[in-house]
Structure 1
Amino acid sequence: MPTASFADSLPFILRWEGGYVNHPADPGGATNRGVTQKVYDAWRQKQGQSAQDVRQLSDAEMRSIYETNYWRPARCDTLERKLDVAHFDTAVNMGVGRAVRFLQAALGCQVDGAFGDGTLRAVQQCNDLAKTLVNYCNEREAFYDRLVVTNPKLAVFRKGWNNRLNALRKEVGLPGYEADVPTDYGDADHIARVPDIGEDPIYDF
């Protein structure tokens, strides 16, 4: 059964995922409500079902994919409220491995992309949630900046990425971000997904 925290966090993610898109510059390819065709094919295969167009993604499938592919693997259930939605949103947009790296950097523990005992201890010993949230969001922003420098063609997504990140900062209550952030994808028609560590070497930095 999905946890209450998962149910409470999902609406923020869906706000920024939009509907069906297939932007030529987006490395994720065809995507519906944030679920790429590749992810959908793999999920259906695990269920013993045949592949079908991601445009046919049902609400139940979408919720199950978000929980089993992102919420649980990123260990969002171990995090305090607010940090869990920041981590969940990052896992969806940038992959579980990269989200864990940002979390580790924000907590000041070993950065290896694997949520092991050391990371769990750092989470449990965290006594400054606000500072951790600031650090986490700053790590994510810095990565977007490096990504555009490395891959200039992705600049079309930069405004949307930053709008989503600033909306996340408002969602978790960071000072200076109290104003409403409209759902604005910037210069594209959606927020591009960044391939996770190992999915595409171009993005492994």
Structure 2
Amino acid sequence: MATVEAMTLAYKLANREVTKHTLQDDYFNRYALNDTEGLPDWFVEDERKHNKPNLPITKEVAQLLREKLKALNARPIKKIAEAKARKKLRANKRLASLTKKAEGIAQNEEMTEADKSRAIERMMSRANKSKPKNKVQVVVAKGANRKIKGRPKGIKGRYKMVDRRMKKDLRAQKAHEAKSKNKRRRK
């Protein structure tokens, strides 16, 4: 990706505000032909960082770059987009199988209309029921789990490490929220 300075230079060259020769003259300074042989690496790195001319950039170019970055950041992350697409695909498959079953029930001549509608409703309600999510297991950070990094032994599924400090902080936060809620009610 181009830097702001590079975009400014390109913009000026395209609008003929600056010529190639003036650019070369501007970039020639006392550090252009600096000899760095025999100097320590840290010194050469430091010189490379600080011995550059500061190029002025225009507001228009800076705004253009900001808009470009906003557009890039607005795009969804690839993994998230893929996960959403998989979820949508699964939902479509479920819906297709449900419609097939519903058609089968609807064409069954042995059942009455009320039985058919009840069967279809029951099937839809079963499909809409979501599986209960596994609760987050709370692991107290004391004893064997005191200074552990990573998953503690014997813990399967989702977990959260807690310690005394966190417990006290949470209690204080809840008390503060309750207090502020009471103050709002009084007014």
Which of 1 and 2 has greater Rg? Answer: 2
Same fold? TM cut 0.5: no
TM-score, length of structure 1 as denominator length: 0.18
Report which structure shows greater RCO (CA 8 Å, sep ≥6): 1
